[in-house]
Structure 1
Amino acid sequence: MSHCDSCQDSSCSVKQPGNPQDQQQQMQKALALRMCTVKQKIVVMSGKGGVGKSTTAVNLALALAKAGKRVGLLDIDLHGPSLPTMFGVRGERPVMDEEGIHPLEVHGVKLMSLGLLLPGDGSATIMRGPMKHGAIMQLLADVVWGDLDFLLLDCPPGTGDEPLSAVQLLGNKTAAVVVTTPQDVALSDVEKSLSFCRELNLPVVGLVENMSGFICPHCGESSPIFKQGGAAGLAEKTGVALLAQVPLDPAVVVAGDAGEPHIISHPDAIGSKALDAVAAAVIKFTADAA
């Protein structure tokens, strides 16, 4: 009797039906079929946490939709999925059928997040690298994205498993938007994100400097809480475009917590106009690269 014959663990991979290599090939084929209907993929990333990357991804997706584009948004922050809260769809579940998982559609954006599949808001996602790669592959391959002009991926901070898997799985016609804040402690880590993009031959649309000055809710004046000129200096140093400087506005926090994205609830705010400019830059960059 072999060791596997005596194993009592029904979850053992050896006991699973089908050839694992065949299953992988089927998943890759499904992924290719899904992605062939997506014109352009945009990875929203940052080497630093807490820079407002998810807020940028949400409002950029909505700005692209407002510009008449067909947009999908995938949350691949597997350990801290926040997009269901920011879109006001916590507790909602996507429809699943023989075609696949149907993303929620909110404000004209097709949305998918692991947070929409977990049993509760407090449920922890416990997984290591290979499992993360498989989860991201399934979210891309099993979701019925349909015809899209842009599929945006909101990555967790850093240059680890999730952004690496995303870039490898998405293939060509993929570019990055990199988010930073003005202070040196963020810029140092964000420069590593730009290095990551160079190493993987991933085109960079440009930098978004978030929290670029604080907008006082009483007088409307801007104060440079996190200093000034940081992202502009990094852009000049690395040759990457600075797409916009988005101010720190308390209304953005309130809108995100309330599930009413800022660009929808405050379309004429300075920050919303800045994200409209980022969307225009993304559209132009991808059109020029076509």
Structure 2
Amino acid sequence: MTAPQRVGVLGGGRMGAGIAHAFLLAGSRVHVVERDATAMDAASARIRAGLRHSIERGTTSVAEFDLLEALSLGTEIAAFADADLVIEAVPEDRALKTEALTRAEAVMAAASILASNTSSISIDDLAIGLRRPERFIGMHFFNPVPASSLVEIVVGTATHGPVVECVEDWVASLGKSPTTVRDSPGFASSRLGVALGLEAIRMLDEGVASAEDIDAAMVLGYRHPVGPLRTTDIVGLDVRLGIAEELHDRLGPRFEPPALLRRMVAEGRLGRKSGRGFYEWENDS
């Protein structure tokens, strides 16, 4: 199993930086495109910090200089012209993703593969405006990408079988395990994860138990590595709200976002990235 030689990542936020990190460690050359110079510099800092952390932990034996030699960043999407794989990693907004994917596909070679890192939006819906939907697929990475062992591969109605097989091999080359699912609301991971997280939020709002005790019940009783409320903090309450709204639209009232979740997002309590959610994260944000 060999990683793709040239990978493009559209969006250098937390997820995009993590995806770039994973492919760099696997030996790919990675080019990250951001919307402007300020965002590009921030993406560069994220990726560099992540790579240094991997080196310090002994996760890779490759020298920092060599890893950075394989990394480039810019603001021009035309740089994806020679990429074997381009992964869209912009925020979880249907219109934003559709526009980003259309722009990326317009400059890509016909034989390359285009993927979305969406966690809940239908791959078939995102493929509607594409010229080559047969070479489009979902690659749902998990946060934090370097530490996560799973990538959920989402197969659209038009996605060709050889594309699926190729992407499965590429995921394995990252040292991660692929799970392959057909396009459906929330796929497998988001649908189950959000269902558990929303119920935990309702329980907290009803005063059933504290956040710590709700999480402990799942960690100690069901051997989950992290409880649903702490997971929501790590994912981001705004991200989880967006996924819940998407699932509510597609699957009905069982995914209605709790009022507490909406209120916390409105107050800017987004979890780890804002320093406060269901837990305090001053030392982890």
**Is the TM-score greater than 0.5?**
no
Structure-2-length-normalised TM-score: 0.36
**TM-score (norm: length of structure 1):** 0.35
User: Which of the pair has the greater relative contact order for Cα pairs under 8 Å at 6+ separation?
Assistant: 1
